[in-house]
Structure formats: structure tokens, C-alpha cells
Amino acid sequence: MRDVSRARRSAAAKSRRASPKELREAQERIKEIDAELRQLELQPETRQGEDREARYERVLRLRRMRDQFESRYPIRAPRQPNSLLLALVMVVGSFLTCAFCAGGFYFAFTALNFNPGPSATASSFWGDVQSQSYQDIYLNLLASNVRLQFVQTQFIQAAQRADAEYGPVTNVVAVTQPQSQQQQQQQTSATYVYNVTRQKKGGKPVTYKVTITLALSNNSWSVTDVGASIFPTEAGVKPVATTTPVPTATH
């Protein structure tokens, strides 16, 4: 608080210009202080300075004081680490860091360029058909040409109508022989044939052939032709009629 008050007074004094009377009084006061300083008696050391012997004695005294202090409070030197062990740890750490960075880059590059192949995309398609996840089919598995033919609500309603008239898909068996992973990576389109079974509640199972077509676009496979998977009428399948028991009147 004293420093703050002193700083405020100093700032206030500097911001205010002295009057001519105050300047004359300040000059007279300086002369008085100079006269007082001239009357003070100076020490011999101040006039002539310290001689060589006194200076040497003072240095010896300071050395003795330092030795006494170090003997009473010894300074413990920090333990120096083994340089060979430290170098080994640094080499191993650098190697592990480089290996971690290289592995992370490889896995990130693999994830960005991962291509599941047409057979995996077809399996996902039929998995969604059996679970009646038609929204996922429309958004993630259909090609743009199919989505242009139907809006999402129309596609879902058509698939649900097929489940109601023909029964949901209960079994899918591939007729086309699966290709190797290398062959799938070399092609840009694929066609698969399946034996699809639908069974309506209270009716007999119906099995018919379905052909779907897939194409590679922007490093991603999608279904370009759903065939009779959603529209069984394309395979010549007629809606399944179910027989419901007629209640008999009791007297």
C-alpha cells in the first residue's frame, strides 16, 4: 500500500507543473543540501580507497567464511545417470515412436481405402432384406440410378407391400459361385444369382430365382439393379393366398 501511495503522489507531482516560486525555493534547497554535504567528514577509506593489504585480508576472511559454511552445510552433487543406459532408452523410445506413427498411418490409410467387395455388399443387402431394414438399403446400398427411380417412401412401401403379399424373405441361397478377393478387386461390376424363399404366415413357402447387379463407383460397391428381390412379380411369382378358417355357427 505504501508503494502504491508513493507512486500516486509521484505521478501527481509529475503531472503538475511547478510554479516559478517553487522552482526558486527548490534551487535554494539544493544549495543548502550541497553545503551540508560539504561539511560532513569523510572516512579515510572514502578519500584514499582500500589499500592492498586490507583488501587481501578481506578476501581471506571471505574465503574462510565460505569454507565454514560449506563444511556445515555440504552440497550434495546430483547423481549422474548412466550415459549408456540413457542412450539405450532414447534409442528404444525413438524406435517405438516411429513404429507407432507408421502403424497409425498404415491403419488410417487402409481404413480410408477399404473396399469390402461386391459379395460383402450383396450379403449386407440380403441381411437388410431379411431384417426388413429397407431404409438402410435405400440410403447406403442402392446406387444413384435406383434412387432416382423411387423416392425413399415409395421404395419402402413397395418392399413392405411385397412382404405383405408374398411373405417376408426367410432364406437366401447363392447360386453363383463366389469369386476370390483378388478377382473381385479387378472388376468394376458383378452379377449374383440367388434362390430366395418367401413364406407368408398361414401359407406355403415360395422359392424363386433373383438376380441382382452391383457396380463399383467412387471406391464403393452399390446395387444398381435389385431385380425381383423387392418386386417378386418380375420373377413371375403370384401373391400367396392364405386360407383362414371360417367360424361355424353354434346353436
DSSP string, 57-111: HHHHHHHHHHHHHHHHSPPPPPPPPPHHHHHHHHHHHHHHHHHHHHHHHHHHHHH
Mean pLDDT throughout 225-248? Answer: 72
Distance from C-alpha of 89 to C-alpha of 111, rounded to nearest angstrom = 33
Distance, CA of 112 to chain centre: 15
Q: What is the pTM of this model?
A: 0.50
Mean pLDDT throughout 189-201? Answer: 89
Cell triple for 222:
452399390
Mean pLDDT throughout 22-49? Answer: 78
Distance, CA of 191 to chain centre: 38
Candidate from 168-172, 175-179, 211-215 with smallest mean pLDDT: 175-179
Contacts of 18 (CB under 8 A, 6+ apart): 26
Cell triple for 202:
398361414
Cell triple for 122:
450383396
Mean pLDDT throughout 166-183? Answer: 78
Element at 217 (helix H, strand E): strand 205-217
Name the residue with higher pLDDT: 43 or 31. 31
Distance from C-alpha of 1 to C-alpha of 188, rounded to nearest angstrom = 83
pLDDT at position 251 is: 41
Mean pLDDT throughout 60-77? Answer: 83
Distance from C-alpha of 98 to C-alpha of 80, rounded to nearest angstrom = 28
Distance from C-alpha of 25 to C-alpha of 33, rounded to nearest angstrom = 12
Residue 137 near residue 120, CB atoms below 8 Å: no
Environment class of 234 (CB within 10 Å of its CB; exposed 0-12, middle 13-18, buried 19+) = middle
Other CB atoms within 10 A of residue 55 CB? 10
Mean pLDDT throughout 211-239? Answer: 85
pLDDT at position 250 is: 45
Beta sheet of 220-225, edge-to-edge order: 169-174, 189-199, 205-217, 220-225
Tell whether the model's pLDDT for residue 249 goes beyond 50. no
235 backbone dihedrals φ, ψ, rounded to 5°: -95, 10
Name the residue with higher pLDDT: 181 or 143. 143
Distance from C-alpha of 119 to C-alpha of 179, rounded to nearest angstrom = 8
